[in-house]
Amino acid sequence: MAAATKQLAATVRSGSGKGAARSVRREGRVPGVIYGGGVDAEAISLDYREINKLIYAGHFLTTIFEIDLGGRKERVIPRDYQLDVVKDTPLHVDFLRLRPGSRLRINVPVHFVNQDTCPGVKKGGALNVVLHSIEMRVPADQIPDSVTADLGKLDIAESLHISDVTLPEGCKPTQAGNFTIASITPPAKADETPAAAAPAAAPAAKK
């Protein structure tokens, strides 16, 4: 499933450095930059409330945005963001320009399905997730939102490998080999060792 494109408004800002960034934050906005695509980096500012909401909604770094800069559109993907170490509020966002035909490296979330019908889980086994996301090289104009891992046939002590997952067209893992994504671990055995007998009471002393 390809990631949907979201609309985001921003304004071009002048100046760079910490002083200019602090000035943007005093206005209730978040400084950012758009780079890549073979052109110069461009400093921007974004609405604080909107960016804060988008970051904490999840999947921010795999979401494609079309940024409106006063009528000029830039298709981008977030590559990094900084949070205040105390308040956890956004301080800065970096966006990468997306150009048709280019490719980029990205972590794609894994969506596990059919855990409720998994034979190994039904027998008391536990799902052991090895990878919650897979780093892949993907087309910039067809970034997947997630990949689906089907647990429907997995039994106890069996593993699900990358070869068991259907990857979106044009996407290739950066890790070599048929690596493991998840496994079903056997149920924990109850302690069968009998409890040690309580020590016999000492005989009463003769008077």
CATH number of the domain to which 13 belongs: 2.40.240.10
Residue 51 belongs to a domain = yes
DSSP symbol at 165:
S
Contact present, 81 and 55 (Cβ < 8 Å) = yes
Boundary (domain end) residue, out of 67, 97, 127:
97
Q: In what order do the strands lie in the sheet with 180-185?
A: 126-129, 180-185, 159-161
pLDDT (tens digit per residue) in 30-88 = 999 999 888 899 999 999 999 999 999 988 888 889 999 989 999 999 999 999 999 99
Residue at 73 is within a domain: yes
- Please give the model's pTM, rounded to 2 decimal places: 0.70
Closest CA to 98 of 158, 35, 170: 35
Please state the domain count of the chain. 2
Same domain, 140 and 176: yes
Are 108 and 93 within one domain?
no
Residues 10 and 78 occupy one common structural domain: yes
The pairing of strands 90-97 and 29-35 is parallel
Which residue matches tokens 């000029």?
72
Q: Looking at 72, 97, 122, which one is the last position of a domain?
A: 97
Instruction: Mark whether 87 and 121 lie in a shared domain.
Output: no
Measure the CA–CA gap between 147 and 169, rounded to whole angstroms. Answer: 11
- Would 207 be classed as within a structural domain? no
Q: Is beta strand 90-97 parallel, antiparallel or unpaired with respect to 103-113?
A: unpaired
Distance CA 192, CA 189 (A): 8
Regarding whether 155 and 91 lie in a shared domain, the answer is no
pLDDT in tens, 72-125: 999 999 999 999 999 999 999 999 999 888 888 999 999 999 999 999 999 999
The domain in which residue 116 lies consists of 103-185
Residue 139 is part of a domain; what is its CATH number? 2.170.120.20
